[in-house]
Amino acid sequence: MVVAVHHPPYSLDRPHGGSPDIGIALDRAITTTGRFPDAVFSGHVHSYQRFTRTAGTRHIPYVVAGAGGYANTEKLMHKLQTSPDNEKIRTPFQTLAEGVTLESYNDTQPGFLRVTVDKEALACEYFVVPFDGNPPAEPFDAFTLHWKKHMLA
């Protein structure tokens, strides 16, 4: 089951941060139904962020892919928070949310997410593109979720 929401439950960007109400609603749905989402996709934040939420042996990717339109200059990209030493976050980064790790991010370039689904897996590839829109798109991040194992590769 893939869930898509506008506001991300988890985000480390400075202007917005995550939307706890979305996370609470998802957790209520999980508790009520006993079903976990296989992946959660969101936008709203003008950057790319990929988190892994670990629930028992299950890996659930939470992807923020909102850097595909409005932000036509680097200044309009939503930058992530910095470390206490004012350094860029290094991944993997354990967030304050239990079991949630930031695996990858890009807060300087626009891009898009390509999702491919088959009976074995969900594969995601994030590509960055120049601000002027001229090709080529370049691969930046990729992951595969195996449906039966609920594990990321």
- CA dist 39 and 29 (Å) reads 14
What mean pLDDT is reported for the chain?
91
> Of 132 and 55, which is predicted with more confidence?
55
pLDDT on residue 75 = 72
pLDDT on residue 36 = 95
pLDDT at 3 over 90: yes
Instruction: Yes or no: say if 11 and 40 are a contact pair by the CB < 8 Å rule.
Output: no
- CA dist 64 and 26 (Å) reads 16
pLDDT on residue 70 = 64
Global confidence as pTM: 0.92
> Of 70 and 27, which is predicted with more confidence?
27
Q: How confident is the model at residue 71 (pLDDT cuts 50, 70, 90)?
A: low
Instruction: Yes or no: say if 43 and 49 are a contact pair by the CB < 8 Å rule.
Output: no
Q: What is the mean pLDDT of residues 74-86?
A: 80
> Of 26 and 131, which is predicted with more confidence?
26
pLDDT on residue 17 = 83
Hey, what are 81's tokens? Answer: 């928070």
Q: How confident is the model at residue 95 (pLDDT cuts 50, 70, 90)?
A: very high
Instruction: Yes or no: say if 51 and 38 are a contact pair by the CB < 8 Å rule.
Output: no
Q: What is the mean pLDDT of residues 57-75?
A: 84
Q: How confident is the model at residue 45 (pLDDT cuts 50, 70, 90)?
A: confident
> What single-letter amino acid sits at 108?
T
- Torsions phi, psi for 98 (to 5 deg): -60, 130
Share above pLDDT 90 across residues of the chain, in percent, rounded to a whole number: 69
Which helix (H) or strand (E) segment holds residue 19: the answer is: none
All structural domains of the chain:
2-152 (3.60.21.10)
